[in-house]
Amino acid sequence: MPIKQTAESLISFYKFIPGIRTPMPADKALGGSLPVRAYRYCEAICTASAYGWYVFTPMDFDLLWDANDIYWRIDEEDEWTHLESAQFPGFSDYFDSHSPDDVRGYAPPFLGAAQEPGLVQVWTGLAVRTQPGWSTLVRPPVNLSTSQSFRSFEGVIETDSWFGPLITAIKLQKTGEPIRFRQSIPLLQLQLMETSLYKDTKDFEVYDLLSDLPQERWEDYYNTIVKPTRTETRTKGQYAKMVRKKKNHSCPVSPSA
């Protein structure tokens, strides 16, 4: 379904490349790969896994690193091409035919080899805009193992003011073997962050000794750890039930709140 920008949307996705896969809400079951026990009883894993949106590559392609240079191809039958900067096929003309005069000629590249060995920039084909005060955390898919052949770097983009191609940097970790990227597998997970949360990281406390713990923390510990073990009818997944109950009774918060 098309994603429409509204005044209430905290995040809006813009497809620059037509026909690419639409971002989708992340899945707490990891597409069925999460163990059943974890899905039923570990709400912490489920909540983290489902927070945000999966973003995919705009097409299937392969990379090859020989420890010096990087090469790429679209199909397995294609010849390897040395990678410096590569456009998505046909996108440059499409961009110029749909962009204002003062923007023409500035189509973002699909792939780019960085100066650092094995480092590649990949464009998702998207741009993102968030409401004022909200940024976008760009990271690998949470709890979902996709490939041991590369790793993605994490980054925070202040998408409430910066609008441009949503790009990630990946580090290739295998040499001499094709590394495959497929549209069917999430490349990234995007998560909303309030800008104030990472702008001020000095507001915290540290208690060095158990003797320093205030009484209310001991009461919290008792209620969380000790009390459930003393209940004769204790059932599994108490934390999961508590969190789900809070979710069911919570009211949605408006973006202006």
Q: Whole-model pTM?
A: 0.81
Q: Could you list the residue range(s) of the whole structural domain that residue 245 is in? A: 210-249
Question: Based on the domain organization, do 108 and 230 belong to the same domain?
Answer: no
Mean pLDDT computed over every residue of the chain: 88
Q: Is residue 248 helix, strand or coil?
A: helix
25 token code pair:
């809400």
Q: Which residues share a beta bridge with 152?
A: 170
57-115 pLDDT per residue, tens: 999 999 999 999 999 999 999 999 999 999 999 999 999 999 999 999 999 999 999 99
129-154 pLDDT per residue, tens: 999 999 999 999 998 877 889 999 99
Question: Based on the domain organization, do 134 and 233 belong to the same domain?
Answer: no
Q: How far is CA 2 from the centre of its chain?
A: 20
Question: Based on the domain organization, do 232 and 112 belong to the same domain?
Answer: no
192-238 pLDDT per residue, tens: 999 988 887 778 889 999 999 999 999 999 998 898 888 766 566 56
- Report how far residue 12's alpha carbon sits from residue 5's, in angstroms, rounded to the nearest whole number: 6
Number of domains in the chain: 2
The reply to whether 83 falls in a domain is yes
